[in-house]
């Protein structure tokens, strides 16, 4: 009896973009790594990745579609950065504060590459 073979690499397709929202922009970026102890790298830098600029729709600054053949079980992280909640300050406090930019809210979601390239959401660490 022979051992089952490892699944072949799967095609994975994701979109990275920046879009205009209330109080700023929303950015979505994807990162990958092979093992949990490896560092995260932008999926656009994945070896032999196919990058395609997508015609931006209304409210979209730029959008890139990325296709890559990834090993079954590879890790992906989706990072979404958007403007945070507005601060309620009176006019004088607003002028006195040090920070001039809008606070950002960052959401990270982790995925594994499943069969047929389906991304399976996993519990964040």
Backbone φ and ψ for 96, nearest 5 degrees, come out as -80, -20
**CA within 13 Å, CB half, 46:** 25
For the chain, domain boundaries: 10-122
pLDDT (tens digit per residue) in 26-36: 999 999 997 77
Q: What is the pTM of this model?
A: 0.81
Tokens of 29: 């970026």
pLDDT (tens digit per residue) in 59-74: 999 999 999 999 999 9
pLDDT (tens digit per residue) in 74-117: 999 999 999 987 777 777 776 676 666 678 899 999 999 998 88
DSSP codes joined into one string, the chain: -PPPPPPPPEEEEEEEEEEEETTEEEEEEEEEESSTTSPPEEGGGSTT-EEEEPPP-TTEEEEEEEEEEE-TT-EEEEEEEEE-PPP---HHHHHH-S--SPPEEEEEEEEEE-GGG-EEEE---
């Amino acid at each position: 009896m022979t051992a089952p073979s490892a699944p072949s690499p799967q095609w994975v397709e994701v979109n990275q973009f920046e879009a205009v929202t209330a109080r700023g922009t929303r950015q979505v970026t994807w990162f990958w790594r092979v093992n949990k102890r490896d560092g995260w790298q932008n999926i656009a830098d994945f070896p032999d990745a196919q990058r395609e600029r997508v015609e931006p729709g209304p409210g979209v600054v730029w959008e890139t579609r990325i296709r890559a053949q990834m090993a079954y079980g590879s890790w992906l992280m989706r990072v979404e950065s958007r403007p945070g909640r507005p601060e309620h300050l009176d006019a004088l406090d607003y002028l006195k504060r040090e920070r001039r930019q809008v606070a950002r809210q960052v959401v990270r979601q982790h995925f594994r590459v499943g069969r047929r390239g389906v991304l399976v959401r996993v519990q964040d660490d």
